[in-house]
Amino acid sequence: MSERTLDALERVLEGDGEADDVLRSAVAALVEEPEIEWAAVAFLEDGRLVVGPEAGEPDETRRQRVPVLYDGAPVGELQADGSVAAALLTRAAELLSTHVLVGWDTGGERWQP
């Protein structure tokens, strides 16, 4: 993932929109990166990860997962399929943390846009 993509992600996250709208825009920005084919945010709900907003075409054979932490506690996971560097994916997860914390309760149902 390039610094350009991280900059675009930061601009998306600076918006004043609802957390779910911001996260949808964030995963869309991530798949603009040539190294990322699919990206998603999963929320930690009742001890389980529930996939929320996602963008791109999944390829589970190339899936990378990094925890999203808020104040040191796990609140979700950033998932990406592709060949993105783990350090940059971790940085993206850090940027997303406050929006993932807010998230929304899907009631265990898969998120649908």
CATH number at residue 30: 3.30.450.40
Domain count, the chain: 1
Q: Which domain holds residue 15?
A: 3-102
Encode the chain (113 residues) as per-residue pLDDT tens digits: 577 777 877 887 787 778 888 899 899 999 998 999 999 999 988 889 999 999 999 999 999 999 999 889 899 999 999 998 888 889 899 988 888 877 544 444 444 44
52-61 contacts: CB < 8 A, separation 24 or more? 52/20, 52/23, 52/76, 52/103, 52/104, 52/106, 52/111, 53/20, 53/23, 53/24, 53/26, 53/27, 53/111, 53/113, 54/27, 54/111, 55/24, 55/27, 55/28, 55/30, 55/31, 56/27, 56/31, 56/81
pLDDT of residue 94: 92
State the pLDDT at residue 103.
57
